[in-house]
């Protein structure tokens, strides 16, 4: 099983919004520019994130998108659920029953056993993703420091100065 590119884009959108000052929504143009993807496809992803309760759409001249809840309360599974829906890794197309139709009771038991094995694996996968919050992932990426807030709507030059300062602080913390 492999997640779609939409999940990766959604994770990037959530990360942008988690590092954005919530007083200033990120415009859809900035998100589109940063992700460099199809604007139509990004709108679909952002719509899924809104419906999933992970981001909010803010209307008006200074509108855009903000994170709907704290990055401490959004986990990877939330993003998977919003973008991919409930995932079942075993397709159970009924092939076992067809192949072993001469041994129907055994085929039904085999189908049940393999479904249960994959159901348990899916639950373990889900539990592992639920334990990884956006906040933890960003903190781990930055070496354990608090999540810095960036205004992604600002000019590249202003933002670059802030990011350089942030990287300097991270290097100092590591050394």
Asked if the model's pLDDT at residue 174 lies above 70, the reply is: no
Q: Are 93 and 100 in contact (CB under 8 A)?
A: no
Compute the average pLDDT of residues 137-145.
Answer: 84
Spatial CB neighbours of 70, under 8 Å, sequence gap ≥ 6: 135
Say what the pTM is. 0.85
Q: Are 55 and 67 in contact (CB under 8 A)?
A: yes
Q: Where do the structural domains in the chain lie, given as residue ranges?
A: 5-174
- CATH number listed for the domain at residues 5-174: 1.10.10.10
pLDDT tens per residue, range 1-18: 789 999 999 999 999 999
pLDDT tens per residue, range 34-62: 999 889 999 999 999 999 999 999 998 88
Percent of residues, the chain, with pLDDT higher than 90:
68
pLDDT tens per residue, range 59-118: 988 889 999 999 999 999 999 999 999 999 999 999 999 999 899 889 999 999 999 999
Cα–Cα distance, 114 to 33 (Å, whole number): 45
pLDDT score, position 169: 64
Q: Are 63 and 27 in contact (CB under 8 A)?
A: yes
pLDDT tens per residue, range 151-171: 888 877 776 766 676 666 666
pLDDT score, position 172: 65
Q: Which of 118, 83, 78, 90 is nearest to 4 (CA)?
A: 83
pLDDT score, position 175: 57
pLDDT bucket at 31, cuts 50 / 70 / 90: very high
Query: Within 52-155, where are the H helices?
Result: 76-84, 95-99, 104-130, 134-141
Cα–Cα distance, 83 to 103 (Å, whole number): 40
E strand or H helix at 58, and its extent? strand 55-58
Cα–Cα distance, 17 to 79 (Å, whole number): 13
Asked if the model's pLDDT at residue 119 lies above 60, the reply is: yes
- Around Cβ 85, how many Cβ atoms within 10 Å? 10
- Around Cβ 96, how many Cβ atoms within 10 Å? 19
């Amino acid at each position: 099983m492999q997640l779609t590119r939409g999940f990766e884009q959604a994770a990037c959108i959530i990360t942008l919004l988690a590092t954005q000052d919530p007083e200033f929504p990120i415009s859809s143009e900035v998100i589109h520019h940063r992700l460099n993807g199809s604007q139509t496809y990004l709108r679909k992803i952002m719509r899924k994130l809104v419906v999933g309760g992970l981001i909010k759409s803010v209307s008006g001249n200074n509108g855009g998108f903000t994170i709907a809840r704290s990055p401490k309360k959004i986990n990877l599974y939330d993003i998977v659920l919003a973008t991919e829906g409930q995932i079942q890794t075993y397709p159970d197309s009924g092939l076992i029953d067809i192949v072993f139709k001469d041994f129907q009771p055994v085929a039904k038991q085999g189908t049940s056993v393999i479904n249960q094995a994959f159901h348990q694996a899916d639950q373990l996968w889900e539990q592992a993703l639920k334990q990884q919050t956006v906040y933890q992932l960003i903190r781990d990426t930055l070496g354990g420091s608090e999540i810095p807030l960036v205004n992604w709507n600002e000019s590249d030059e202003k933002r670059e100065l802030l990011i350089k300062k942030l990287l300097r602080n991270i290097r100092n913390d590591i050394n």
